[in-house]
Amino acid sequence: MNWDDLRIIAAVRDEGTYAGASARLRIDETTVGRRVARIQRTLGVRLFEAVDGVRKPTRQCEMVLAHIQAMASHAAEIILPDRHTAATVRDANSIQLGDVTYRLDGVDAPELDQVCIDDHADSWSCGIEARDQLAKLINKRSVRCDDVGPEKSFGKRHRAICTAEGDKTSLNEQLVKLGYAIVREPVKANVKSAAADAKSTSAGVWKGCFVAPQEFRTGKKDGALLGAACRADRDKEIRAVLFPDDLTMPPSCGIKGKLAVRARVTGNIGIYHLRGCPSYPATTKPDRWFCSEDDAQAAGFRKAYNCRRPK
């Protein structure tokens, strides 16, 4: 069970029909039905009952959905035992300890708003799952991050090799071995052999089809397709899924980012728009979604000039 499964169940519950859920999620109605059937087989329970043409959620369905809010708001935070501070998994690339955010050295994981294709040819919020996998690896333990130098491409953040208490293997290496990140230069962490293993076994994102996170960040739609499920005869259709016109907003990440040539004047690649700014409602098809201004700035986006605090 992952975030995509829960999102589909919630949409059917809210809309009452597969057609309504299809329109809301912008995926085919047959895909919605197939995914619901697969989820029911996996769980061994019936989630909906058809009543007068409307799909009514069962008690078991409501029990599953009760976990959604907690999943959305708490999956990224790990409270460290015996400490007064919390370590926050900002995304699958970044861990915050206190007021310092480190990027995992040698690791390039899907962004929270990035979409991949799974081994069933369905769209998949791989960035959210990659983040959740990193949270599971930490599993409420304390984390030590050894700084290995500044990260030039991500604002003021530094690269680090991070290890959870009791582990001999770094989180960098473990995440790559699970297939939820690829190698990114420069690299000091021991991740290259883990990356080769993940690719050869079609682990994590390698089981489906995706683009390198760096190419997603910059909107490079003609970049190489990676993964075991990529098909040359479906190139156009695959790229339309990986770079959707209407990118789904991750939970609690409502800052809109738009790639813009004019942003290069200030050394950036794009502009971000906050709720309440005049430009926010006009930005109807953002290229990126960010959870904080710090994340947007680290990704190379500057604030829209009309997003100034009122005097």
Phi-psi region of 98 (alpha: psi -120 to 50; beta: other; left: phi over 0): left
Q: Taking a C-beta distance cutoff of 8 angstroms, is the pair 247, 113 a contact? A: yes
Mean pLDDT by 10-residue block, N- to C-terminus, for the chain (311 residues)? 76 87 79 89 89 89 71 50 59 90 94 95 94 94 88 76 93 97 91 96 97 95 96 95 93 94 91 94 95 92 82 43
What is the structure's pLDDT at 9? 87
What is the structure's pLDDT at 52? 86
For 3-70, CATH number?
A: 1.10.10.10
The total of other beta-carbon atoms located within 10 Å of residue 248's CB is: 15
Give the span between the Cα atoms of 29 and 238, in whole angstroms.
18
**Strand-strand pairing, 270-273 and 255-259:** antiparallel
Q: Which residue bears the tokens 């813009």?
A: 260
Q: Please, is 165 exposed, middle or buried when counting C-beta atoms within 10 Å of its C-beta (0-12, 13-18, 19+)?
A: middle
- Ranges for all domains in the chain classified under CATH 1.10.10.10: 3-70
Q: Taking a C-beta distance cutoff of 8 angstroms, is the pair 257, 271 a contact? A: yes
Give the span between the Cα atoms of 203 and 176, in whole angstroms.
9
Question: Tokens at residue 157, please?
Answer: 């953040």
Q: Which CATH number fits domain 75-242: 3.40.50.1980, 2.40.50.90, 3.30.465.10, 3.30.2290.10?
A: 2.40.50.90
Question: Tokens at residue 52, please?
Answer: 């007068």
Q: Please, is 69 exposed, middle or buried when counting C-beta atoms within 10 Å of its C-beta (0-12, 13-18, 19+)?
A: exposed
- Ranges for all domains in the chain classified under CATH 2.40.50.90: 75-242
Instruction: Give every CB contact of residue 293 below 8 A, 6+ residues apart in sequence.
Output: 255, 272, 274, 303
Helix, strand or coil for residue 105?
coil
Q: Taking a C-beta distance cutoff of 8 angstroms, is the pair 183, 212 a contact? A: no
The vertex-82 CA angle with 76 and 87, nearest 5°, equals: 25
What is the structure's pLDDT at 155? 63
Query: How would DSSP label each residue in 277-311?
Result: STTTTT--S-SEEESSHHHHHHTTEEE-TT-PPP-
What is the structure's pLDDT at 81? 43
Question: Tokens at residue 283, please?
Answer: 């930005």
What is the structure's pLDDT at 154? 63
Phi, psi of 102 (to 5 degrees): -110, 140
Give the span between the Cα atoms of 37 and 31, in whole angstroms.
10
Question: Tokens at residue 27, please?
Answer: 């995926």
Give the span between the Cα atoms of 31 and 7, in whole angstroms.
13
Give the span between the Cα atoms of 117 and 210, in whole angstroms.
6
pTM of the model: 0.74
Side chain identity at residue 306, one-letter code = N
Query: How would DSSP label each residue in 161-230?
Result: EEEETT-SS-HHHHHHHTTS-EE-SS--SS-HHHHHHHHHTT-GGGGSBB--HHHHHTT-TTSPPBSTT-
